[in-house]
Amino acid sequence: MPSGRSVQIAMADVDRPVGFSLPLAAPGFQPAVTFHLEDRERSVAVLHQFAGWLQPMLAQFCPAASMSAHQPTLGAGSWEILRGPQLLAVVDLRLGAAVAPTATAADFEAAVWSIRDHGDVAIPAEFVRLSVSQLMWQYALRTARDLLPPHYRHHPLYFRRPPPPAAASAEGRPPAAAARARGPADALRTVAARHRPR
């Protein structure tokens, strides 16, 4: 729109398909996907093209959604997600996860989780492999579902221990701070007493 605000996009930072309507305002810019807004058939074709590109990611959301809703006992071993004889995904805390890139939401709706009790799962080469934490994190970033466990809302939270301090380095830490980091265990109490209100 001539009267609207301009938007600048760094294409190297875009992590999803992008299409541009014609005519293009920037001379010399040649995007991979273009369409005319008036051309309904072409616009629908672009959306189908994007859906195809995003299909592997959509397939990964399905087991993640099932895990967040039902939370199977993943520590028990390797799990297969099966629709009949068809293997859709594998989830194992030790080996990670693997998802069939062509699996759809309809496939997962009719699937069952099955614990494998005779060794590790043989993962097909074409499956998309990733860690379980990566699988869940990319789902958590995009879902509208509230994934915070109930006990975080209704029960006390306990601070178990502080994270370990980083190792002191001559270049990155002043000598006095490095010496304090190597000081006795009661140094924190000493500092607290020094700053106690009078």
Model pLDDT for residues 38-87, shown as the tens digit of each residue: 999 999 999 988 888 888 888 888 888 888 877 666 777 788 899 999 99
pLDDT range class, residue 89, cuts 50, 70, 90: very high
Q: What is the pLDDT of residue 120?
A: 63
pLDDT range class, residue 165, cuts 50, 70, 90: low
Domain-embedded: residue 88: yes
- Coil, helix or strand at residue 74: helix
CB-CB contact of 136 with 64 (8 Å): yes
Range of the domain at 113: 57-145
Domain-embedded: residue 130: yes
Mean pLDDT of all residues in 145-165: 75
What is the chain's mean pLDDT, rounded? 77
Domain-embedded: residue 81: yes
Domain-embedded: residue 37: no
In the chain, the N- to C-terminal Cα span, in Å, equals 64
Domain-embedded: residue 115: yes
E strand or H helix at 89, and its extent? strand 86-92
- On whether the pTM is more than 0.85, the answer is no
Structurally, how many domains does the chain consist of? 1
CB-CB contact of 114 with 82 (8 Å): yes
* pLDDT score of 164 more than 70: no
Domain-embedded: residue 126: yes
Domain-embedded: residue 80: yes
CB-CB contact of 88 with 121 (8 Å): no
